[in-house]
Amino acid sequence: MTTIQDVAMRAGCAISTVSRVLNGSPHTTEATRVRVMAAVDELGYRVNTIGRSLKTQKTGAFGVLIPSITNPVFASSLGGIEEAARTAGYDIIVTTSNYDPGRDGEAVEALLARGVEGVLLTVTDPATGRVADRLAARHVPHVLLYNQPIDPAVAAVTVDNRRATADLTGEVIARGHTDIGYVSGVFGSSDRARIRYAGYCDRMREAGLKPQAAVEVPFVGQDRDFVAAVARFLNAPTRPTALLCSNDLLAIRIMAAARTLGLRVPEDLSVAGFDGIDIGRMVEPSLATILQPAADMGRQAVQFLFALMRGEREPATLIMPHTFRPGRSLAAARGGTIAGALRAAPAPALNRKTIP
Amino acid sequence: MTTIQDVAMRAGCAISTVSRVLNGSPHTTEATRVRVMAAVDELGYRVNTIGRSLKTQKTGAFGVLIPSITNPVFASSLGGIEEAARTAGYDIIVTTSNYDPGRDGEAVEALLARGVEGVLLTVTDPATGRVADRLAARHVPHVLLYNQPIDPAVAAVTVDNRRATADLTGEVIARGHTDIGYVSGVFGSSDRARIRYAGYCDRMREAGLKPQAAVEVPFVGQDRDFVAAVARFLNAPTRPTALLCSNDLLAIRIMAAARTLGLRVPEDLSVAGFDGIDIGRMVEPSLATILQPAADMGRQAVQFLFALMRGEREPATLIMPHTFRPGRSLAAARGGTIAGALRAAPAPALNRKTIP
DNA sequence: TAGGGCGGTGGAAACGTTCCCAAAGGCCGG
DNA sequence: CCGGCCTTTGGGAACGTTTCCACCGCCCTA
């Protein structure tokens, strides 16, 4: 490996001079600058990031913890994160928890050991994990993504999950449904699932309807087990006319399972999701859902993290806007009326706001 | 930050002793071991990876370059990669080219500057990019993933794209289709797209059919442009009865576009993809495709990379097995016969093999 | 012309770790 | 009982970089 030492020798100057030239220090002659750069080119020298990091205590990298890479909503946000990081000259170190609450902690420890300058994280549960606390104790800047922070002192970028699901539930009710079920990933693996369920309950009660118990299904299991679990539920005589799912991937799997069971969506069962993944627009029937701007949330989280690193900003929760995306998976209830749909007040648009 | 120095002071011994205990050197007393570990716990000491890396010239990280995180097939392989890396105690640094041939090079440079010990890469084009050459020149272990290497001295994990597409084309022909089109991502952005097209041509000619010109569509563009481009093609009177797509995501988008245009799949148009992404089984109609074991390919590539790092193995191309996954998107041609399907010889199973 | 200031440069310490080498202590065998 | 060997420990150099400090000319001004 060619080092700064070699360059100095070749250029006939001191190591410190080379370093100055390389870092664009003003105290340097054009002549030496040219000589040094020539030596750099001839030797094919490239600065060693490790040596630099050791001295400067900066690694130029931050960590990202997400539950899963294969869920398109996290893939999208990761895409936004990667882009924003690259633009700023930062590298990202990606790690996953696979929805396992225990792995949140070790994953963050591993990131810390690597010397990341900050961490972006979507934890399984901010209430029980206390991962953010450990980061705070170590003074490592961090931003929660998708999670709703327990402690307002923790920075976060999310949508108003509760309100959004309430809005979505309102859309379903407006289409004449009264028997509306809720299917969810395991509550212990996702605070979003819990919060969204609460939003569903809010709106149901508001409409004078009885919220149903959430059906928790294992999110990462085998397909066969999944279909079996769903079948037990959908074949029951008490099957609802509409089903809210805690996320789009789940909704799409449910639709596929329903088809397997001989149910037609939306004629026999309306389905709605949450996330707004692209694929939801391409499936048949297209999936009604709440759209959250995943890639943009990732980008925003990165900007937020940088601000925190520079000490420019106090931690705050950034609530991103959500929108209802209609889809053919959600139809009027049998016997429901267009008039009923028109009577229902449309959900007011939520604008981005910062809660200090 | 607490350093090894602090621990040594606390434990009342030398820095080197602490280092030995931490690294599990045999030359160490149980008593000192206990004393050191106690000091470590009390001080909450964690080894500084930067300092270690500087000394050992090992970073414990390798780089991953993929075209896009949001394509599920790359997300899946990335999932496999992440898992395998984590198991081995390695971190991964992820970067994307967004199918831009120019960005392959800079991305790899960035990874190298960070001091990765190896690189896993899916480049846009191994023929023109010569990225692998640069890695070889710098003696950085690297494995191509999904790409078919030009130079057999370059390690790679892939499927037999040409043969696989030929197999798939055979399945379509066996269902009585003779007018079979091919839609593809831009050839310049993907060697897979080109090679797969060649496989399609092979099998068409073999069956005495005329291969059609590939329709290249911009893969990352706006949805509106995409639909417009596809519409021009699908509304033409020369529309084929079956369409092969260079990947699943494209196939799913095509199916959605076809629906928008009032075409029924598979009644008016059969569609087949390539990749075997999960979502393809959940869309309606389910997508006929070639399944490549994405996550497993990622894991294998990691193992391969480790072997290369240890100098254990000569570079070679690992061809993973592919399988045809039937789907309702592919039906018998109007006027096609079951007998015709039966007459067609089934594609022989491909087993994994290593080309030395 | 002499002195002061300043721009450019070189030397060296420091970052946190690993690991080689030497020294010290204990134990065993002669 | 003493010498030698082996085990354990300490000291210090090295990894590649940044950056502080000191030094040396040069130029400008008095």
Decide if B290 contacts B164 (C-beta within 8 A): yes
Decide if A307 contacts A338 (C-beta within 8 A): no
Measured N-to-C along each axis, helices A30-43 and A15-22 cross at an angle, to the nearest 10 degrees, of: 90
Structure tokens given for B324: 């045809």
Query: Checking DSSP bridges between strand A119-121 and strand A155-159, what pairing results, if any?
Result: unpaired
Start-to-end C-alpha separation, chain B: 49
Residues 237-296 of chain A whose Cβ lies under 8 A from any Cβ of chain B: 252-253, 255-256, 259, 278-279, 281-285
d(CA B338, CA A349): 55
Q: Please check whether strand D approaches the CB of A29 to within 7 Å.
A: no
Distance, Å, B21 CA → C19 C1': 13
Q: Write the CB contacts of B341 (distance below 8 Å, at least 6 apart in sequence).
A: B174, B175, B176, B332
CB count within 10 Å of CB A37 equals 16
Q: Do A113 and B68 touch (CB under 8 A)?
A: no
pLDDT at A251: 95
Residues 163-202 of chain A whose Cβ lies under 8 A from any Cβ of chain B: none
pLDDT at A219: 65
Q: Write the CB contacts of B271 (distance below 8 Å, at least 6 apart in sequence).
A: B242, B243, B245, B251, B254, B255, B258, B265, B287, B288, B329, B330
Q: Please check whether strand D approaches the CB of B37 to within 7 Å.
A: no
Distance, Å, A21 CA → C7 C1': 15
Q: Do B50 and A46 touch (CB under 8 A)?
A: no
Supply φ then ψ for residue A203, to 5 degrees: -70, -35
Q: Where does residue A263 rank: exposed (0-12), middle (13-18), buried (19+ CB within 10 A)?
A: middle
CB count within 10 Å of CB B140 equals 21
Tell me the chain A residues in contact with residue B253 when contact means C-beta distances shorter than 8 Å: 282
d(CA B177, CA B107): 43
Question: Shortest CA distance to A192 belongs to which of A130, A251, A127?
Answer: A127
pLDDT at A335: 61
pLDDT tens figures, A311-349: 887 888 999 999 999 999 999 987 644 444 444 444 444
The protein residue nearest D14 (Cα–C1') is B55
* Nearest Cα residue in chain A from B84: A95
* Nearest Cα residue in chain A from B295: A70
Q: Write the CB contacts of A71 (distance below 8 Å, at least 6 apart in sequence).
A: A247, A249
Q: Closest nucleotide (CA of A20 to C1')?
A: D18
* Binned average pLDDT, 10 residues per bin, chain B of 356 residues: 93 94 88 94 93 93 95 96 95 93 89 91 86 89 93 94 97 96 90 95 96 84 75 84 95 91 92 96 93 97 94 88 96 63 42 39
Tell me the chain B residues in contact with residue A62 when contact means C-beta distances shorter than 8 Å: none
Q: Do B95 and A110 touch (CB under 8 A)?
A: no
Decide if B192 contacts B147 (C-beta within 8 A): yes
pLDDT at A126: 85
Residue B55: left if φ>0, alpha if ψ -120 to 50, beta else—which one? alpha
A58 to chain B, any CB pair closer than 8 A? The answer is: no
pLDDT at A220: 64
3-state secondary structure of B145: strand
Distance, Å, B16 CA → C21 C1': 12
pLDDT at B335: 61
pLDDT at A340: 42
Distance, Å, B27 CA → C21 C1': 15
A54 to chain B, any CB pair closer than 8 A? The answer is: yes
pLDDT at B220: 64
Distance of CA A29 to the CA centre of its chain: 49
Give the Cα-Cα-Cα angle B26, B29, B31 (nearest 5 degrees): 145
**What is the full DSSP assignment across B97-135?**
-TT-HHHHHHHHHHHHHTT-S-EEE--S-HHHH-HHHHH
pLDDT at B221: 63
Tell me the chain A residues in contact with residue B61 when contact means C-beta distances shorter than 8 Å: 93, 114
Cis peptide before B101 (omega within 30 of 0): no
Structure tokens given for A42: 């001839």
Stretches where chain A sits below pLDDT 50 are 336-356
Question: Shortest CA distance to A165 belongs to which of A278, A280, A326, A273?
Answer: A273
Q: Do B51 and A54 touch (CB under 8 A)?
A: yes
Q: What distance in Å separates residue B74's CA from the closest CA in chain A?
A: 9
Among A54, A91, A282, select the one facing B114 at the smallest CB separation.
A91
pLDDT at B110: 87
Bases on strand D under 7 Å from any protein CB: 7-20
Q: Do A113 and B279 touch (CB under 8 A)?
A: no
Decide if A324 contacts A346 (C-beta within 8 A): no
Supply φ then ψ for residue A94, to 5 degrees: -100, 135
Tell me the chain B residues in contact with residue A114 when contact means C-beta distances shorter than 8 Å: 49, 60-61, 91
Among A50, A83, A109, select the one facing B53 at the smallest CB separation.
A50
Decide if A108 contacts A119 (C-beta within 8 A): yes
Give the Cα-Cα-Cα angle B255, B258, B263 (nearest 5 degrees): 120
Structure tokens given for A5: 């030492």
Q: Closest nucleotide (CA of A36 to C1')?
A: C9
Among A46, A70, A281, select the one facing B79 at the smallest CB separation.
A70
B95 to chain A, any CB pair closer than 8 A? The answer is: yes
d(CA A172, CA A341): 9
Tell me the chain A residues in contact with residue B54 when contact means C-beta distances shorter than 8 Å: 50-51, 54
